[in-house]
A = this chain, B = another copy of it.
Amino acid sequence: MPKRRTRLRSHCPVNFGLEAFGDRWALLILRDIVFRGKRSYGEFLASEEGFSTNILASRLEHLVAEGILTRADDVRDGRRAVYSLTEKGLDLIPLLFEMVLWSAKYDRQSEAARIPGLVELIERDNRRVSAELRPLVVQGEAVVRRYVEGGAGAVRL
């Protein structure tokens, strides 16, 4: 994905989404924020899928430009930048959850198996769960942590 395409290829809703957040790496950043509570360049960089530094930087820039993320300087540490989801970004949670559902069904080895409780909740009512987890995401909590089987913070909505 280049810096920024001059014009959208089309206003088809699917295409619009793809151009805004549909890049592979962009979506992994969003995943890191929502499911893992990550917030900074360095944390994203540590993801197992292996970002290249330049790609990570360009995707962060892109997501900020799209209004899906905001970037702020960390108050406690001047070197750090903190990326957060805007409303527009938070509204992507249901989409991420649908991906989880699909992969849970078709990936025999899916890590979703570790959060059966959450998967079931999403199946039952994605929209509701997404809305209820929003505050947690805003607070920077790793949504997944609460639902890891046998985990300490397991919670039922």
Interface of chain A, main secondary structure: helix
Q: Kindly list chain B residues whose C-beta atoms are within 8 Å of the C-beta of A99.
A: 13-14, 17-18, 95
Known: A102-B92, A106-B88. A31 touches B14 (CB 8 A): yes
Q: How many residues of A contact B (CB 8 A)?
A: 43
Q: Does the CB pair A104–B13 fall under 8 Å? A: yes
Known: A49-B9, A95-B98. A22 touches B27 (CB 8 A): yes
Q: Does the CB pair B18–A27 fall under 8 Å? A: yes
Using CB atoms and an 8 Å cutoff, list the residues of chain A in contact with chain B.
Answer: 9-18, 20, 22-24, 27-28, 31, 35, 48-50, 88, 91-92, 94-96, 98-107, 109-112, 126-127
